Amino acid sequence: MLLATLGLTGLHWLSHRYDRTVTKQNLLDPAARKPRTDLSQALNYLLIGSDHRPGANPDDQRSDSILIVHVPAGMRQAYLISIPRDLLVTIPAAPGYDGGQDKINAAYEYGGGGEAGARLLSATLSRLTGIRFDGAALLDFSGFKEVIDLLGGIQMCVDTEIRSVHTKTLFTTGCQQMDGARALDYVRQRYGLPGGDYDRQRHQQQMLRAVLNKAGQTHLRDDPVKLDRVLRAAGSALTVDTNGKSLDDLLLAFRGLPPDALRGVQVPSYPQVIGEVSYVVLDNGGGGLFDALRATRMPEWVGANPRWVNRL
């Protein structure tokens, strides 16, 4: 998403500056990493969002958001596939953890959080979907707040009135301008929403698109000081694994991806209580979604499964 934003500037020197700002780590397990990324082919990236709110338990290292970003060949579309945080999966063994069944967001915690946690999560997701990733990113939502503020806020459309369980803010229905703190508070909510965590996933997808839309509308090209501040804020909020590709190469590849090309996708699944614990389980093995990912047939799958497609 941020690389696409950079592509709007058309300035290669900015990508070099960004390259020096962003943290780079090996976020992908060897079993989850594609041996070689070919930017002319379909691509799959893992995006892990983490938000350690003030007052939260510092030992709680579970990932708040897990998305697969699928980009078909041609770079004219992108699919944001949200993985339910409570999805019941088999997590491989890791140092200090024997492996077993648990909620998928626990994999990040069992791996120790950070770089190692991302690797265990990527291995878990690769085992589940059968795909290998072309790269990964850790996004700190708390740091991402500054990016939204520097862009002047974003437009979010609230479809169900809800009061924040974190700040007690009331979000009334309708499209409205939100600053970083308000937007991130809104997309955290799941209790009291008709679709629960599925609505939360959709709101996070909407936020990512809204940021990309605003970046496209903001004349960053004509304001190098503001652009530099946005890049530095983005760099402080991101840790990336580009699988050996330079940010220059990624910039050139993604520069033509328009904001309205983003599609939100939910994994076919449903909530189920097992042993007095609430989980999410796959509906019919995922309804063919993972097969479509592996076979690069996402446009066909989306057309045949409108129930699981979010309007962004």
Residue 133's DSSP bridge partners are 33
Mean pLDDT of 90-104: 96
Q: Is the pLDDT of residue 92 over 70?
A: yes
Which runs of consecutive H residues, i.e. helices, occur in 82-176?
Answer: 106-110, 114-129, 141-150
- What mean pLDDT is reported for the chain? 87
Q: At residue 4, what is the residue type?
A: A
**pLDDT value at position 311?**
84
Tokens 């997309």 sit on residue: 187
Contact 94, 79 (CB under 8 A): no
Among candidate residues 184, 239, 312, 288, the one with its CA nearest the CA of residue 47:
239
Mean pLDDT of 73-102: 94
**pLDDT value at position 9?**
42
**pLDDT value at position 214?**
85
**pLDDT value at position 55?**
43
**pLDDT value at position 11?**
42
List b or e across 267-290, with b for residues whose CB sees 16 or more CB atoms inside 10 angstroms.
bbbeeeeeeeeebbebeeebbbbb
| Residue 121, both tokens | 């999560």
Query: How distant is the alpha carbon of residue 93 from its chain centre?
Result: 25
Beta strands in the chain (DSSP E): 23-24, 43-50, 65-71, 78-82, 88-91, 100-103, 135-140, 154-158, 162-163, 170-171, 174-178, 238-241, 262-266, 269-274, 277-282, 309-310
Q: How crowded is the C-beta side of 16, counted as CA atoms within 13 Å?
A: 3
Instruction: Give dist(CA 239, CA 246) in Å, integer.
Output: 14
Segment 282-301, tens digit of pLDDT: 999 999 999 999 999 999 99
Environment class of residue 40 by beta-carbon count within 10 Å: exposed (0-12), middle (13-18) or buried (19+)?
exposed
Please tell me which residue, 200 or 231, carries the higher pLDDT value: 200
Tokens 């995922």 sit on residue: 286
Output the CA torsion sign for 296, 302, 307, 309.
positive
- Domains, the chain, with CATH or none: 2-149+238-310 (3.30.420.590)
Segment 198-224, tens digit of pLDDT: 999 999 999 999 988 887 776 666 677
Mean pLDDT of 190-204: 93
Instruction: Give dist(CA 213, CA 114) in Å, integer.
Output: 29
Contacts of 102 (CB under 8 A, 6+ apart): 88, 89, 91, 110
Whether pTM > 0.85 for this model: the answer is: yes
**pLDDT value at position 258?**
76
Instruction: Give dist(CA 310, CA 78) in Å, integer.
Output: 13
Instruction: Give dist(CA 19, CA 22) in Å, integer.
Output: 6
Distance of CA 112 to CAs 55, 95, 124, 139, Å?
20, 9, 14, 16
| Residue 29, both tokens | 């397990």
Segment 129-176, tens digit of pLDDT: 999 999 999 988 777 899 999 999 999 999 999 999 999 999 999 999
**pLDDT value at position 299?**
94
Contact 76, 253 (CB under 8 A): no
